[in-house]
Amino acid sequence: MKRISNKMTVNIAGALVAVFCLIGINELAYVRSVDAMDELSTTELTRSSLQRLLQDVLDAETGQRGYLLSDDPRYLEPYNAAIADIGHTQDILRELFVDKPAQIPTLGTLTRTVQQKLTEMDLSLRMKREGKEDAWKFVLTTDVGKEQMD
């Protein structure tokens, strides 16, 4: 009888060890799953922010060109809205890249390229407002913006 009791104790102890091991493995898998989901969420936010930045630059350029060609101030509405959004989107990207020091130079290059494009667009708009037709047309035909965006 005592022998059966000892075997039962060993079996119960073994079962408890197995249960605790399974619980530990399950918890570890859960933590890894949560980490993977967080990383996936961050990656998606980064992707959508980059897409938003591209769309904003395109919207700004479309509005700028529409205004330059038509002299209709309504075309400046998408330009102005896009310019306002670009700063916000760049702030989001900076926050996302804080923990990725290897990517910060790439973000810096992107930020400088966008700023150069915005400066070029602003310059052509100022020249248009000042009546310098040949000057804004020259800026538009230099292909500087195209080279930057390619």
pLDDT in tens, 6-63: 788 888 888 888 888 889 888 888 888 888 888 888 889 999 999 999 999 999 999 9
Mean pLDDT of 78-99: 93
pLDDT in tens, 39-48: 888 889 999 9
Higher-confidence position of 78 and 31: 78
Would you say residue 113 lies in a domain?
yes
Report whether pLDDT(145) > 70.
no
Report whether pLDDT(146) > 70.
no
At 1 the pLDDT is 55
Would you say residue 19 lies in a domain?
no
Would you say residue 116 lies in a domain?
yes
Q: Domain span at residue 62?
A: 45-149
Reduced to 3 states (helix: H, G, I; strand: E, B; else coil), residue 130 is coil
At 92 the pLDDT is 94
At 2 the pLDDT is 62
pLDDT band for 81, please (50, 70, 90 cuts). very high
Would you say residue 7 lies in a domain?
no
Q: What is the DSSP string of 20-61?
A: HHHHHHHHHHHHHHHHHHHHHHHHHHHHHHHHHHHHHHHHHH
Task: Please give the tally of structural domains in the chain.
Answer: 1
